Each structure stands twice: as C-alpha cells, then as structure tokens.
Amino acid sequence: MSATPRLKSGIFVRALIRRAQVAGAQGFVVRKGSEEAGAVFIKVARLDGTSFVLAQARAGDGELVWTRPLGDACDEARASAYFERQVKFDPDIWIVEIEDREGRAFVDEKVV
C-alpha cells in the first residue's frame, strides 16, 4: 500500500481559511509555522465566549483525524495556555482561529 502524499501545511491552512470565508465565517493565521510540514492546530471560536481546539493526529490505520485535546469547550485562557505549551514542544506549528457562531471547523477529516 502506497502512502498518500501529504499536503503542505501552508497550502492546507490557506485552503482552510478560504473555505471558512466562503461559508460566511472568518479565519485567521494566529501563528505561522513551517510552510512544508508544520503541525496545524485549529481554534474554533463560537463568538459566545466559548471555543474548542482541534489537533491533528493519526488513527491506528494511519488515517488523518482531528482530536479535541481540551474537550468540547474551553475559554480563551485555557486555549492560549495549551498553544503556549505546544509551541515550546514544537516551534514550527501553525495556529489557525476560525470565528463561527455555528462552531464549524471546515475540515473534511473525522473529528474524534
């Protein structure tokens, strides 16, 4: 079985932001990471004071999925502290914020 080529992080982020904008939401790069292969984290702000964070992961079969490392909802301070820890671990990460009252993340992959 051949591996699926990985989309460059920068291209993925730009497409994600565009997809959000087309659907009427706003997307912003909060932190620019490695253009080629930086891990991507997404914060979805529901504009009611709550948000959730998505992190990329690989399922047991190698499939790309998204996890909710902070659960279904968190506040700004908790999300910021989480991102600070991630940057210390890997300074090449991307952080994208999507502002959407409906809480849509605009990713195709499964959220687990």
Confidence of residue 4 (pLDDT cuts 50, 70, 90): very low
pLDDT digits (tens, 9 = 90+) for 24-83: 999 999 999 999 988 999 999 999 989 999 999 988 898 889 999 999 999 999 999 999
HSE toward the beta carbon, residue 86, CA cutoff 13 A: 23
Is the pLDDT at 2 greater than 50? The verdict is: no
Q: DSSP string of 35-99?
A: TTT--EEEEEE-SSS-EEEEEEEE-TTS-EEEE-TT-S-B-HHHHHHHHHHHHHH-TT-EEEEEE
The whole-number average pLDDT for the span 7-22 is: 95
| Per-residue pLDDT, 3 | 46
Instruction: For domain 27-99, give the CATH number.
Output: 3.40.1530.20
Domain residue ranges of the chain, discontinuous segments joined by +: 27-99
What is the reported pTM? 0.91
Element (H, E) at 13: helix 9-22
- Residue 95 pairs in a beta bridge with 31, 41
